């Protein structure tokens, strides 16, 4: 939906008056999967599509939430916010309000209309996009836009952990809040130190491939994988003083992996340590402009997520393997938590149309329904328009 249409919709709902407009992107993680909670490096970027929000202050303490994507409308009182299953998507912004109030930030009544073009359940972070949108709105409307951006994204993560009950890492909110046009962020999830790198794919582009198998994060095996990694960490801590699996180099892990007797636990830890190394290499290759080597690392990442971490599934494995067969594809992998959702591929610009046609056909023949494709540039982080 265009901003003009969104404002018209807002006026229909809430009447005439001043309207402020904000945009919060989706995100895709180029590489570094399932290691944010293991203290590793991730390499995400903001997408150029996401969630728009129109907002107006009210004179009272009521907040009205509405969305063009869902019929559900929710009204809450700022001074009495509780989690409610019936409030569905509105629980994400509600959680942000709670966390920001705990920190003593000002907040008052608002009318809000949001409209997202991130496919829901695709694993491109529609929930984090909405959370950071809410935090930036509160910062700009009631706190003079003075909040430290890193603190703001941390509050959004807390909201998802504590209020919604999803044990997510910091990466999604960080990429969305801190994103910059045409740049990826190398983020150390242990220390929150970060640096940007230019993403110049030359005559290639990022194609996001949606398996159209919906993924619900808090129903997936996400918490189980975290527990397995924590078990591996406890075992390795008996020999070496570390706080997170990704503090180990590949060599250090190889020398110690015999300590982990259970195969599944050993495989999870191995993925974390090796994926962390791949992420640092990927950052280097992007800075050097070596897109072919970068593409090869994406494919290795997928193999590891499939074989060691076991979070891909038939749909993601199919879409990645079919992508890699097509001329002009330099690399592909699942992205996000897995068990459905999206993959990404680096594809030569001249081959994109053929690539999409061939993958669509072959995927449909194997899985029974078509995937969707999104061509995205790398966009700006959340802000007022």
Active site members: 172
Nearest to 14, CA basis, from 53, 77, 52, 58? 58
**Cα–Cα distance for residue pair 246/233, rounded to 1 Å:** 10
Q: Give the position of tokens 């892990």.
A: 253
Per DSSP, what are the bridge partners of residue 39? none
- DSSP code for 198: E
Sign of CA dihedral 290, 291, 297, 301: positive
Nearest to 22, CA basis, from 65, 48, 46, 54? 54
Other residues' Cβ atoms within 10 Å of the Cβ of residue 175: 31
CA torsion angle for 184, 29, 46, 125 (degrees, to 10)?
A: -160
Tell me phi and psi for residue 95, to 5 degrees: -60, -40
Strands 41-42 and 183-188, sheet pairing: antiparallel
Residues contacting 153, CB < 8 A, separation 6+: 132, 135, 170, 173, 174, 176, 177, 178
Pair 373, 347: CB distance under 8 Å: no
Both tokens of 96, joined, read: 């942000």
**Cα–Cα distance for residue pair 59/90, rounded to 1 Å:** 21
**Cα–Cα distance for residue pair 119/214, rounded to 1 Å:** 10
Tell me phi and psi for residue 327, to 5 degrees: -55, 135
**Cα–Cα distance for residue pair 123/341, rounded to 1 Å:** 5
């Amino acid at each position: 939906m265009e901003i003009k249409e969104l404002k018209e919709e807002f006026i229909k709902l809430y009447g005439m008056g001043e309207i402020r407009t904000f945009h919060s992107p989706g995100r895709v993680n180029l590489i570094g999967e399932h290691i944010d909670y293991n203290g590793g490096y991730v390499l995400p970027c903001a997408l150029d599509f996401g969630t728009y929000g129109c907002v107006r202050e009210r004179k009272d303490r009521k907040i009205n939430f509405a969305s063009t994507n869902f019929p559900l409308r929710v009204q809450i009182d700022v001074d009495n916010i509780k989690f409610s299953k019936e409030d569905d998507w509105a629980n994400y912004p509600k959680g942000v309000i709670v966390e920001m109030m705990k920190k003593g930030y000002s907040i008052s009544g608002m009318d809000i209309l949001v409209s997202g073009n991130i496919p829901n359940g695709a694993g491109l972070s529609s929930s984090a996009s909405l959370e950071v949108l809410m935090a930036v709105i509160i910062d700009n409307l009631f706190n003079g836009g003075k909040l430290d951006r890193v603190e703001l994204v941390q509050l959004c993560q807390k909201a998802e952990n504590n209020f919604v009950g999803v044990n997510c890492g910091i990466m999604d909110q960080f990429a969305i809040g801190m994103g910059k046009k045409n740049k990826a962020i190398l983020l150390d999830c242990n220390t929150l130190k970060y640096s940007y790198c230019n993403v110049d794919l030359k005559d290639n582009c990022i194609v996001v491939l949606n398996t159209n198998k919906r993924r619900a994060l808090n129903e997936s095996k996400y918490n189980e994988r975290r527990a397995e990694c924590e078990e591996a960490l406890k075992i390795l801590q008996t020999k070496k003083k570390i706080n997170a699996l990704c503090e180990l180099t590949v060599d250090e892990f190889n020398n110690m992996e015999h300590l982990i007797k259970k195969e599944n636990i050993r495989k999870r830890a191995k993925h974390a340590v090796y994926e962390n190394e791949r992420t640092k290499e990927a950052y280097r290759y992007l800075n050097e402009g070596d897109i072919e080597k970068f593409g090869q690392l994406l494919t290795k990442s997928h193999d590891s997520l499939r074989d060691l971490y076991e979070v891909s599934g038939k749909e993601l494995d199919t879409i990645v393997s079919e992508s890699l067969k097509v001329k002009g594809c330099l690399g592909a992998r699942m992205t996000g938590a897995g068990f459905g959702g999206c993959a990404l591929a680096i594809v030569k610009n001249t081959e994109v149309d053929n690539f999409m046609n061939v993958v669509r056909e072959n995927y449909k023949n194997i899985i029974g329904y078509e995937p969707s494709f999104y061509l995205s540039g790398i966009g700006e982080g959340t802000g007022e328009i």
